[in-house]
Amino acid sequence: MVRRNEIFGISIVALLCLLLIAFSQKETTNYRRSPKYQQLIDLEESFRVSNNFTVPTPTIQDVISMQRNLLLSELHDYQFPEGDNLEDYTLFTGGQPVRTIIITTWRSGSTFLGDIINSLPGNYYHYEPLLEYGIMQIRGSPHAETALQTLRRLLNCDYTSLYSYLEYGMSHVYLFTHNTRLWNQCEMYPQYCWNYTFLNEMCRLFPFQSMKTVRLRLWLAESLLEDEDLNVKVILLVRDPRGTLQSRKHRDWCPGEPDCDQPNNLCADMVSDYSAAIQLMKNYPDRFRALRYEDLSLNPEEIVEDLFDFLGLYFHRDVKRFIDSHTRINVGGVSSTFRDSKNAPFHWRMDLNYTEVQYIEENCDEAMKLWGYVRSKNASSMREFNPLTAYDIK
Ligand SMILES: *[C@@H]1O[C@H](CO)[C@@H](O)[C@H](O)[C@H]1NC(C)=O
Ligand SMILES: *[C@@H]1O[C@H](CO)[C@@H](O)[C@H](O)[C@H]1NC(C)=O
Ligand SMILES: *[C@@H]1O[C@H](CO)[C@@H](O)[C@H](O)[C@H]1NC(C)=O
Ligand SMILES: *[C@@H]1O[C@H](CO)[C@@H](O)[C@H](O)[C@H]1NC(C)=O
């Protein structure tokens, strides 16, 4: 009788675990636990307690092998290039991942683009690795060396000596929450979440490694491109300074921070990024791209399909589905990427007054010319003119 109960109990727990896994896969685009997901966890917990049933806690190795199986099932319909398979892309099998970095600045649409790339099955997302630097731009010494070292280590899945990065993350968990596949495991096994042994092994399972940073200026990224072993692809994401500054006005961490609220600083960076872009385009035509947020928003599916082609990634139906569901209507809060993507980039035309727009345009004349943004004529035409024109970085 006792044995039958035990077998029954084990089956129930196993079933619940399977359901949890199924749910956690469905939930990869949303790091918050859904009520249903929470219900399952509670149900499993109450079952264990009421039956005085203890299941041994999985070890790091157990969690890693569960994650491996999750990845195999997640990637079952991923189409690798002819002749390749998963082992060619994971560090733990001696392969070489597809590595991608988005270089941009605050409020330039990088949450949107970063989440699009992360909707790809098998992606591991190094979200904003330079968070601990605060509201500042890294343009050179003294911070460039340590910042680049952090990026390089993360892209190699080496968390071993990233003490301050991990320490910062423990009290600012959004360092990890955007990395949805990692975060699912962190929610289930919080005791391992910030353990570098666990993180090293977890990261090394993933064939696609993406990263985005808003704090590092483009010319510094050249040293990452130079590193042939890293074989990283870099995307510079650019936005109209009027849109960027309008959006920053509404963030409480921005006003009063000169690298954030001063048009001349933003636009000097845009000018310097432009010369760096010309240089990188010349030296690394297959591994560097510039992209305007406005173009992405007006034509997301076409642009992303083209971008994935450049990155060497398969345009999986999950990515298409993510774009479809995130580009129609405005729902959600501050950093929500659910939006009417065709209007979002041009919201500044209604929200800023003409004095503010003129002030930005005076400070941004050169940056706007280089990146193809048109100055407004007067207060009334400002509300509906087309601020976009062509740009050329060849
Ligand atoms: C649960 O099991 C343990 C060991 O088998 C026993 O010592 C304990 O008294 C049990 N608790 C309850 C509430 O049955
Ligand atoms: C990480 O986890 C392993 C295994 O549980 C443990 O031995 C090690 O001490 C942990 N490391 C840290 C830095 O907590
Ligand atoms: C424009 O907006 C700024 C900042 O919100 C405000 O200080 C200024 O008075 C406004 N100017 C006009 C002409 O409405
Ligand atoms: C504002 O500029 C537009 C476009 O150049 C022009 O057609 C319009 O007459 C101008 N309006 C005013 C009030 O100057």
Q: Terminus-to-terminus CA distance in the chain, angstroms? A: 78
204 and 81 co-located in one domain: yes
138 and 46 co-located in one domain: no
The response to whether residue 380 sits with its C-beta less than 6 Å from ligand 4 reads: yes
pTM for this predicted structure: 0.83
Residue 318 sits in a domain whose CATH number is: 3.40.50
Q: What's the CA angle centered on 270, arms 151 and 229, to 5 degrees?
A: 30
Please determine, for residue 31, whether its predicted confidence score (pLDDT) is greater than 80.
no
Selected residue with higher pLDDT from 228 and 20 = 228
29 and 134 co-located in one domain: no
Is residue 388 assigned to a domain? no
156 and 212 co-located in one domain: yes
Convert the pLDDT of each residue in 290-306 to its tens digit. Answer: 999 999 999 999 999 99
Ligand closest to Cα of 380 equals 4
Task: Identify the residues whose C-beta falls under 6 Å from ligand 3.
Answer: 353, 355-356
Convert the pLDDT of each residue in 105-115 to its tens digit. Answer: 999 999 999 99
Domain that holds residue 245: 71-346
CA–centroid distance, 307 to ligand 3, in Å, is 40
- pLDDT in the model for residue 42: 80
Using a 10 angstrom Cβ sphere, with 0-12 exposed, 13-18 middle and 19 or more buried, the burial of residue 324 is exposed
Is residue 28 assigned to a domain? yes
Is residue 356 assigned to a domain? no
User: What would the two tokens of residue 357 be?
Assistant: 């727009």
Q: Which of 356, 359, 360 to mutate to test the pocket of ligand 3 (most atoms within 8 A of CB)?
A: 356
The response to whether residue 378 sits with its C-beta less than 6 Å from ligand 4 reads: yes
Averaged pLDDT for residues 309-326: 96
Closest protein CA for atom 8 of ligand 4? 381
Is residue 196 within 8 A of residue 162, CB to CB? The reply is: yes
CA–centroid distance, 387 to ligand 4, in Å, is 15
> Among the atoms of ligand 4, which is closest to the Cα of residue 377?
2
CA–centroid distance, 381 to ligand 4, in Å, is 6
The response to whether residue 384 sits with its C-beta less than 6 Å from ligand 4 reads: no
Please determine, for residue 213, whether its predicted confidence score (pLDDT) is greater than 50.
yes
Q: Tell me the CA distances in angstroms from 33 to 20, 37, 85, 359, one per residue in order.
A: 11, 6, 32, 44
CA–centroid distance, 370 to ligand 1, in Å, is 73
168 and 46 co-located in one domain: no
Ligand closest to Cα of 385 equals 4
Is residue 184 within 8 A of residue 28, CB to CB? The reply is: yes
DSSP 357: H
88 and 31 co-located in one domain: no
- Backbone phi and psi for residue 21, each to the nearest 5 degrees, phi listed first: -65, -45
84 and 47 co-located in one domain: no
8 and 90 co-located in one domain: no
CA–centroid distance, 52 to ligand 1, in Å, is 6
Closest protein CA for atom 13 of ligand 3? 355
Task: Identify the residues whose C-beta falls under 6 Å from ligand 2.
Answer: 60, 195, 197
Ligand closest to Cα of 62 equals 2
CA–centroid distance, 267 to ligand 3, in Å, is 21
Ligand closest to Cα of 246 equals 3
CA–centroid distance, 364 to ligand 4, in Å, is 22
Q: How many domains does the chain have?
A: 2
Is residue 257 assigned to a domain? yes
Convert the pLDDT of each residue in 325-382 to its tens digit. Answer: 988 754 444 444 545 677 889 999 999 999 999 999 999 999 999 999 999 999 999 9
Which residues have a Cβ under 8 Å from the Cβ of 343 and sit 6 or more positions away?
none
Alpha helices, DSSP H only, in the chain?
2-26, 35-50, 60-74, 110-118, 143-155, 163-171, 174-177, 180-188, 196-203, 222-226, 241-249, 258-261, 263-283, 293-298, 300-311, 317-326, 348-351, 354-363, 365-371
Edge-to-edge strands, sheet with 123-127:
123-127, 208-213, 98-103, 232-238, 288-292
146 and 202 co-located in one domain: yes
The response to whether residue 381 sits with its C-beta less than 6 Å from ligand 4 reads: yes
Is residue 362 assigned to a domain? no
Residue 327 to residue 323: CA distance in whole angstroms: 6
CA–centroid distance, 149 to ligand 2, in Å, is 24
Is residue 371 assigned to a domain? no
Q: Tell me the CA distances in angstroms from 107 to 181, 191, 247, 248, 293, one per residue in order.
A: 24, 33, 6, 6, 10
Is residue 84 assigned to a domain? yes
Residue 100's H or E segment, with its range, is strand 98-103
- pLDDT in the model for residue 27: 45
- pLDDT in the model for residue 366: 98
CA–centroid distance, 245 to ligand 3, in Å, is 14
50 and 75 co-located in one domain: no
- pLDDT in the model for residue 29: 45
51 and 186 co-located in one domain: no
- Backbone phi and psi for residue 271, each to the nearest 5 degrees, phi listed first: -70, -45
- pLDDT in the model for residue 55: 72
Q: Which of 321, 346, 371 is the C-terminal boundary of a domain? A: 346
The response to whether residue 161 sits with its C-beta less than 6 Å from ligand 4 reads: no
Is residue 219 assigned to a domain? yes
Tell me the pLDDT band of 48, cut-offs 50, 70 and 90: confident
DSSP states of 30-44: --SPPHHHHHHHHHH
105 and 30 co-located in one domain: no
